[in-house]
Amino acid sequence: MILDSETARVRAVLVNSGRYSIPEADAKIAASALSIFIGSDAAASVAGQAAFLTAVATAARCFGRVTVSGTTNASIIVPLPGAARTLGEAAIVLGATIESEGGSARHVVIGSGWPGSSEWQIHPYWSGWIAGVAPRPRQSGRSECALAGVAAGALAVGHAFLAEQGDPRAGRVNLCLSLWSPDALPADAENPALSELSLPKSLWLIGLGNLGQAYLWSLFMLPYAEPQSVMLYLQDDDLIDRENWGTSVLVERGRYNILKTKVAEEWANRRDFRVRRIDRRFDERTRRNADEPGLALSGLDRMGPRRLLGGGGFEYVIDSGLGATAASYQDFRINVFDAATDPAQHFEGVEDRTAETAAALLQLPAYEEITRQRNDGGCGAAMLAGKSVAVPFVSAFTGALAITQAIRIASGEAPHRSMTASLGDLRTLRAAIGEHQERITIETTATDTTPLVPDHALDPTKPKERDGFGNLFVKEVAHRIDENHARLLPAKRL
């Protein structure tokens, strides 16, 4: 019996539900299949490509077989680092195979023009900062925001996975949210063009497991005009294990026992970002200097280190957390702390429940069987039961939301101090807006406003029209003050 498989933490979703033995769970994952189609309209847009690549990268880690079809010969226009020149080449690198028509029972359909039909299908869509999925085709709107594509692609794979596990609600309803204004109904949410905003160019990433790599995945897709001006501090002391492949989107299959910081550095260098590696864990001795990044993104998985985040001297800390059990693996939480809020106080009295959870899991037949087979006094079963459940699509979705908060901070907007939801039902989302800091010193940079593909939404000679969310495709943008540089930005058209 293989305990340290590459999909061990994904497999735990099935095993820890009490419905499967480990061999049964492995067999079910191996037999599962997902087909991903991309239409020519989506393939010509930033959000469409981000949705496709995210869907492939996350699906390949939790489905036994992933096939892609449609306009896979389109040139890659999102700045995701890598040697692939087309979407098809990238899909192969990420773990999929190309087929003229997807042959699985479940389909993720991105864009229009899908020639097939199936009993179960899901359609990601987007408009500016809005991301969603629907059981039937839905026209997308503005497509310049890659983060909306990342969220939509991850959401679609998540619901395909839920459907594969027998959830009758998965993919049957329209679900959407605004990444920019998760505290508002999508129809009422602000939806600024990315070209109006500033991007953070100095970030400290703490923890480079599934969440930390999801942050980077979204960050790499942003349109930095001068990527070589971006500085990332990458902090972690762990090595890549086999099981990290199933949860972490930057891990290359078969390349293990190397530092997570090294893998992240390689991706960042290919994106032309500058990097400082910190190959030790975050602790009470970690503190930034005045000239180091003031904005931190935390992807820690234990409460103890989280309570220390306020002592690092950061102006802002964006901290994410994920559900770690078979009942909660769809859940995510994001908190944004500033100089006036202390993570130690926020997480006071909150403890990890690993031991309690593991003790309960050891009573399941699957873990009792491991103890009988290995005759090791239950050590192998306890080790396996003590590992948290994790799936890559929840991390990718959460990463897009967290990077959006970093953009809000860099653009002088108040971040959302808390967000909680279940990916299985975005109607559970709760978000609370925070307050502006009096003085903002986070380093920022402008977006690259050069259109990557022809887009009538960027052409001021075209008539104004509204998309399905009521957003004007073309509108005037008033002068505004950029609080980070105290300079007047000229009016510009979307």
* Planar angle of CA 402, 404, 406, nearest 5 degrees: 75
pLDDT at 449: 63
Mean pLDDT of the chain: 85
pLDDT at 309: 94
Task: Choose the weakest-confidence range: 1-15, 176-190, 305-319.
Answer: 1-15
In a domain, 375, yes or no: no
Interhelix angle 392-410/210-220, rounded to 10 degrees, is 60
Across 411-445, b (16+ Cβ under 10 Å) vs e yields bbbebbbbbebbbbebeebebeebeebeebebbbb
Q: Partners of 251 in the beta sheet? A: none
Reported confidence tier of residue 304, pLDDT bands at 50, 70, 90? confident
Q: Mean pLDDT: which of 8-17, 382-391, 399-408 is highest? A: 399-408
Helix (H) or strand (E) holding 106: strand 106-110
- In this structure, the number of other CB atoms found within 10 A of the CB of residue 123 comes to 25
Average pLDDT over residues 97-118: 86
Task: Choose the weakest-confidence range: 295-309, 415-429, 464-478.
Answer: 464-478
Q: Mean pLDDT: which of 254-268, 386-400, 426-440 is highest? A: 254-268
- What residue type is 7 in one-letter code? T
Q: Are residues 356 and 225 in the same domain?
A: yes
Structural domain total, the chain: 3
Q: Are residues 476 and 361 in the same domain?
A: no
Q: Are residues 213 and 254 in the same domain?
A: yes
In a domain, 371, yes or no: no
Nearest to 115 by CA among 130, 98, 101: 101
pLDDT at 377: 57
Residue of 361 and 48 predicted with greater confidence: 48
In a domain, 20, yes or no: no
Nearest to 142 by CA among 397, 452, 401, 468: 468
Percent of the chain with pLDDT over 90: 67
Average pLDDT over residues 158-172: 94
Structure tokens at 419: 């967000």
Nearest to 144 by CA among 45, 217, 74, 220: 45
Q: Are residues 220 and 127 in the same domain?
A: no
Instruction: Quote the radius of gyration of the chain (alpha carbons, Å).
Output: 22
Tell me: the pLDDT tens digits for 356-391? 477 777 767 676 677 676 766 566 666 666 677 899
pTM: 0.87
Distance between CA 318 and CA 203 in Å, rounded? 11
In a domain, 5, yes or no: no
Which domain does 460 fall in, by range? Answer: 454-494
Distance between CA 444 and CA 484 in Å, rounded? 7
Q: Are residues 123 and 168 in the same domain?
A: yes
Examine the pLDDT at 482 and tell me if it is beyond 80.
no
In a domain, 21, yes or no: no
Reported confidence tier of residue 52, pLDDT bands at 50, 70, 90? very high
Examine the pLDDT at 269 and tell me if it is beyond 50.
yes
Tell me: the pLDDT tens digits for 213-262? 999 999 999 999 999 999 999 999 999 999 999 999 999 999 999 999 99
Q: Are residues 490 and 351 in the same domain?
A: no
Examine the pLDDT at 275 and tell me if it is beyond 70.
yes
Reported confidence tier of residue 27, pLDDT bands at 50, 70, 90? very high
Strands 120-127 and 175-178: unpaired
Strands 130-134 and 175-178: antiparallel
In a domain, 96, yes or no: yes
Q: Are residues 58 and 129 in the same domain?
A: yes
Examine the pLDDT at 458 and tell me if it is beyond 50.
no
Which residue shows structure tokens 């998985």? 301
CB of 214 within 8 A of CB of 251? no
Structure tokens at 298: 């935390």
Alpha-carbon distances of 301 from 60, 209, 349, 418, rounded to whole Å: 24, 9, 16, 17
Reported confidence tier of residue 159, pLDDT bands at 50, 70, 90? very high
Q: Are residues 348 and 208 in the same domain?
A: yes
Q: Are residues 434 and 459 in the same domain?
A: no
Q: Are residues 198 and 85 in the same domain?
A: no
pLDDT at 426: 92
pLDDT at 63: 97
The CATH number that applies at residue 402 is 3.40.50.720
Reported confidence tier of residue 3, pLDDT bands at 50, 70, 90? low
Structure tokens at 76: 């890659």
In a domain, 14, yes or no: no
Q: Are residues 47 and 175 in the same domain?
A: yes
Q: Partners of 488 in the beta sheet? A: 481
Q: Considering Cα of 240, then 385, then 298, then 201, what sign does the dihedral take? A: positive
In this structure, what DSSP letter does residue 380 have?
A: H
Domain end residue (candidates: 112, 147, 181): 181
